[in-house]
């Protein structure tokens, strides 16, 4: 039998981190993990950066409840971390956790990261082309999307059309290889149990509103100012999702809700996901 890996995914503000911690603690006394418990690997493309705590809703030490978490606060936000780099780190952590006789729990809402791990995708190794990136950065996401459709229609179908970083990287890869790259898939080494959390739109919006208001109360503006003092450029902040210089709660709520819609569009493609209503009290599952 293949080793079991639990995956908790879903839109932002649906309670993924809380559920992952509950499952990890429950596994400490469950026979499936031989009383050793679970450990959590983040699959969030922004929480992997240092200093982006309030703005990304990063889990706190108190909320972790003693459960080990990995791939949080790994990289300086000035550095662009690729999905292939994430894949290597995540796979190394999965092996380490299983070797300790514990259950890996992957938790996050970045679909591209999750697919890289669970679908056994091997990405082409293409070094950064900084002159090309600088040139493409001047174009809008709409223009980049049209260009990618011409170069690689298949990749264009499976990419966030508003994520300029991923659009530029996709074009960069096609240009480097001189042809449309084939995404190689290998047989998975693990049995992935995918649990998706969802909320009806009205309830999701209320959760997002509550979370965003707390972000501002906790010091979101100070966090953005600190990032800028530490040398993170305005351009880089926009790439990381802080596309506002003086954000207001209303604008952040609106942009976060749009992002949540894009997340669900991505996840709906995966028929292996078992969906659960995140509004149910004391939500927990048998694993």
144: pLDDT strictly greater than 50: yes
Q: Which of the listed residues 182, 198, 223 is the one where a domain comes to its end?
A: 182
245: pLDDT strictly greater than 70: no
Predicted local confidence at residue 84, as pLDDT = 87
Give the structural domain span for 272. Answer: 4-121+186-277
Q: Which of the listed residues 141, 164, 182 is the one where a domain comes to its end?
A: 182
Task: Write down the mean pLDDT value for the chain.
Answer: 89
Examine residue 287 and state whether it is found in any structural domain, yes or no: no
Q: What is the pLDDT of residues 182-212, one digit of tens each?
A: 666 778 889 999 999 999 999 999 999 999 9
Same domain, yes or no: 32 and 105:
yes
Predicted local confidence at residue 98, as pLDDT = 96
pTM of the model: 0.83
35: pLDDT strictly greater than 60: no
Question: How many domains does the chain divide into?
Answer: 2
286: pLDDT strictly greater than 80: no
Kindly indicate the confidence band of residue 18, based on its pLDDT and cuts at 50, 70 and 90: very high
Predicted local confidence at residue 171, as pLDDT = 92
Question: Rounded CA gap, 70 and 73, in Å?
Answer: 9
Predicted local confidence at residue 33, as pLDDT = 43
Same domain, yes or no: 138 and 31:
no
Q: Which of the listed residues 159, 182, 205 is the one where a domain comes to its end?
A: 182
Query: What is the three-state SS of 182-236?
Result: CCEECCCCCEEEEEEEECCHHHHHHHHHHHHHHHHHHCHHHHHHHHHHCCCCHHH
Cross-strand bridge partners of residue 21: none
């Amino acid at each position: 039998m293949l080793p079991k890996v639990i995956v908790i995914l879903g839109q932002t503000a649906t309670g993924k981190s809380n559920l992952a911690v509950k499952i990890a603690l429950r596994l400490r006394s469950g026979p499936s993990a031989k009383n050793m418990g679970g450990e959590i690997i983040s699959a969030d493309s922004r929480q992997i950066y240092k200093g982006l705590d309030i703005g990304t809703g990063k889990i706190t030490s108190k909320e972790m409840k003693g459960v080990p978490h990995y791939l949080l606060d790994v990289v300086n936000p000035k550095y662009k971390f690729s999905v292939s780099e994430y894949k290597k780190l995540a796979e190394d952590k999965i092996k380490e956790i299983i070797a300790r006789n514990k259950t890996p729990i992957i938790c996050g809402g970045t679909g591209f990261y999750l697919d890289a791990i669970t679908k056994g995708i091997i990405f082409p190794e293409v070094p950064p082309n900084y002159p090309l990136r600088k040139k493409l950065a001047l174009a809008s996401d709409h223009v980049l999307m049209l260009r990618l459709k011409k170069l690689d229609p298949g990749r264009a179908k499976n990419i966030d059309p508003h994520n300029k970083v991923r659009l530029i990287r996709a074009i960069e890869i096609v240009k480097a290889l001189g042809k449309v790259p084939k995404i190689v898939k290998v047989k998975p080494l693990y049995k992935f149990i995918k649990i998706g959390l969802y909320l009806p739109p009205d309830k999701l919006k209320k959760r997002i509103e509550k979370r965003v208001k707390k972000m501002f109360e906790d010091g979101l503006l100070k966090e953005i100012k600190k990032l800028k003092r530490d040398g993170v450029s305005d351009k880089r902040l926009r790439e990381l999702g802080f596309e506002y210089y003086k954000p207001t709660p209303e604008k952040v709520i609106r942009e976060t809700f749009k992002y949540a819609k894009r997340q669900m569009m991505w996840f709906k493609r995966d028929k292996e996901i078992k969906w659960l209503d995140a509004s149910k009290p004391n939500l927990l599952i048998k694993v």
